[in-house]
Chain A
Amino acid sequence: MYIIGENIHIMSQRVKDALQAKDARFFQERAVQQVEAGAQALDINLGPRKKDWEEVFPWMVQTVESVVDVPIVFDSTNLLGIEAGLKKVTKAQPIINSTSAEPERLEKVPLLAKKYNTRLVALTMGASGIPVGADERVTIAIEQLIPRMLEIDFPMSDLIIDPLVLTVSGCQEYCPELIEAIRTLQVAWSPSPVISVGLSNVSNSVPNENRSLINRTYCAMLMGTGLNMLIGDPLDIPLMETIRIIEQRDMSTPVGRLFLKINDRIAASEYPVLEDVDAGDPEQMAIWKTVQILLNKVIYADAYLQL
């Protein structure tokens, strides 16, 4: 699993404060922590920085590149800022996150990515928002995103399609559709496009104590589709452990066996069933309940684990 660390994000108050104070050490520590925990690239979302982009983007590139060698993922809507940052990159091939199929973005962002030889995340989202259905998301990829790349002769191996994770709290019907979207995308083009998702979105607006469980359970399910790249939290130890268990097929613990079973069911285009679970083990039952909400079989509520 290629993991893009998500922990430098302007939504975090500490990131906001550190950016305000130009606290280079804070960002360097976060960068190093994530890479040491297994991140192979670092997503950096500083917001649009409409006023100070000229200064902030290059500063951040230099700050982070002085301590780590991994690719920087420019997660912003401000193309001027991204470009200012790209000019300072000296290490790994960077990634731009993201374009969508929205006409103006699709016109401009791929050209920038091509000019600076970056990889590019492309969201399966058009001008009218995010479609619920798997088919519609795949259609956006093969009828809009990929043709645009071909049109400007952008290397397909540098295109990363993101079929979009939405939160189980409020957009529950999107969750199972994503599984189908990833499956279909892999066979919708030859060679199979690279696919990545923003995993933690699945637990947006979920109480903190349940976020990690939802994230890792969804991760086990999505890995069953063959997903091998995601933006997520490398400092989430149980998540990283779940990924390791699945990758190494580590059958040594009951919970690990359940995650493998879930993964295998999805891989076989099946759904996990209650018989896969040891109902006497509260941890396994919590995972089972989480699978049920992620498959939109049971309506999500903040207290879903209590039931």
Chain B
Amino acid sequence: MPQVEIPKDSWSGSVTTVTLGATAADGGTRSHTITVGGHKALPFMHFEQKMAHRPLIALEIKDHRPDDWSPLLLDLWGDAANDPASWAKAAESAGADALVLWLSQNGTDGKPTTPQAAVASTKAVLQASGLPLLVFAPGQAELDNALLVPISEATTGERLVLGICEDKNYRTIAATAMANGHLISTRTPMDVNLAKQLNILVRDMGIPPDRILMDPTTGGLGYGIEYGYSVMERLRLAALQGDGNTQSPMIVTPGAEAWKTKEAKVGHDVPATWGEWLERAINWETLTAMALVESGADIIVLRHPESMRRLRAAIDELMSVPA
């Protein structure tokens, strides 16, 4: 058999290395930190460049029991979902690499979440779990600012990831992140040009590249994932080609997207050929996430621990360098 030479790409650029969380030694309270990014080649192309850091999987928890989550998820988390501290502990024992505390728009009383409540939830999670933490506000620019600034100030030095930083409110969030030693997650709606533009704008504020994550937004399987995939692919190729404003590690939220789909959400009055509900829902989340891992996702935010186990097993295989 003739020896086949495998062609290798060599790239001039690389993905920025970003560390989440700070331990006591660095002014935080996390039990450990996690580092993502650093890639010098496309994902899992170990024969070109060994992948610097494996993708990390975060589980999403809420500040109180959500009323719009699938009963499959609520049944699974049970009473733990009643308060953020017990949910954080449960997610840590389930094996999450990191936690995303995604704040609700309203409190249990139906009124908008207050800054005091948001700070209290964040602190409760930080006390309950030593994992690196990402805190996402509900996604409404003004409310997000009102919640994230006090959270940022109350957790100085923790190297939290503050999100969601959009074109409407990036100034406030980037400023408070810089002032208090946190990171930001920028989000743009599935568009390479807008992703790059927002990166330019936050960098213009003076926030260092190693404190920026980029959320290019994705859709669930069957609901626009192909757009999300190709945006991520283009951003990653540009990053490796040396475009400095596309080099942030990418974070995606396939859990939230997949669990919005009818296929995951609805258990009755669907065709029998759709198969068993729980298995279908987990497959939907896992396959959505898997596609994004292949397109370069560095942080994957999921909702179901079984999806996390399956995704992790797949990443384990992809990470093992063939002898």
Contacts and interface: CB of A to CB of B under 8 A. Distances in A.
Partners in one complex: yes
B89 interface: no
Interface in A150-186: 169-170, 172
Nearest to A169: B193
B311 to A, nearest CB: 28
B64 interface: no
Nearest to B199: A301
A299 B200 contact: no
B294 interface: no
A298 B197 CA distance: 12
A299 B192 contact: yes
A27 to B, nearest CB: 35
Interface stretch (B97-105, B110-118, B168-176, B238-246): B238-246
Nearest to A172: B193
A301 B191 contact: no
Interface in B176-215: 191-194, 196-197, 199-201, 204
B280 interface: no
Interface string A275-307: 000000000000000000000001111110011
Q: Which of A301, A302, A306 has the most CB of B within 10 A?
A: A301
A299 B244 contact: no
Contacts of A299: 192-193, 196, 234-235, 238, 243, 245-246
A307 B245 contact: yes
Given A299-B234, A299-B238, A301-B245, A306 B193 contact: no
Given A306-B200, A307-B200, A301 B244 contact: no
A302 B235 CA distance: 16
Contacts of A306: 200, 204
B243 A170 contact: no
A36 B170 CA distance: 47
B243 A303 contact: no
Contacts of A300: 193, 196
Interface in A114-173: 169-170, 172
Contacts of B192: 299
B193 A303 contact: no
Contacts of B191: 170
Nearest to B198: A301
B242 to A, nearest CB: 9
Contacts of B197: 301-303
A101 B200 CA distance: 41
Given A301-B196, A301-B200, A307 B234 contact: no
A302 B188 CA distance: 14
A300 B191 CA distance: 11
Contacts of B245: 299, 301, 307
Interface string B68-80: 0000000000000
Contacts of B193: 169-170, 172, 299-302
Contacts of B246: 299
Nearest to A293: B193
B46 to A, nearest CB: 26
Q: Which 5 pairs across A and B sit closest by C-beta, in order of nearness?
A: A301-B196, A301-B197, A303-B200, A299-B238, A300-B193
Interface of B: 191-194, 196-197, 199-201, 204, 234-235, 238, 243-246
30 contacts: A169-B193, A170-B191, A170-B193, A172-B193, A298-B238, A298-B243, A299-B192, A299-B196, A299-B234, A299-B235, A299-B243, A299-B245, A299-B246, A300-B193, A300-B196, A301-B193, A301-B196, A301-B197, A301-B199, A301-B200, A301-B245, A302-B193, A303-B197, A303-B200, A303-B201, A303-B204, A306-B200, A306-B204, A307-B200, A307-B245
Given A299-B246, A301-B199, 13 more contacts: A169-B193, A170-B193, A298-B238, A299-B235, A299-B238, A300-B196, A301-B194, A301-B196, A301-B245, A303-B197, A303-B200, A307-B200, A307-B244
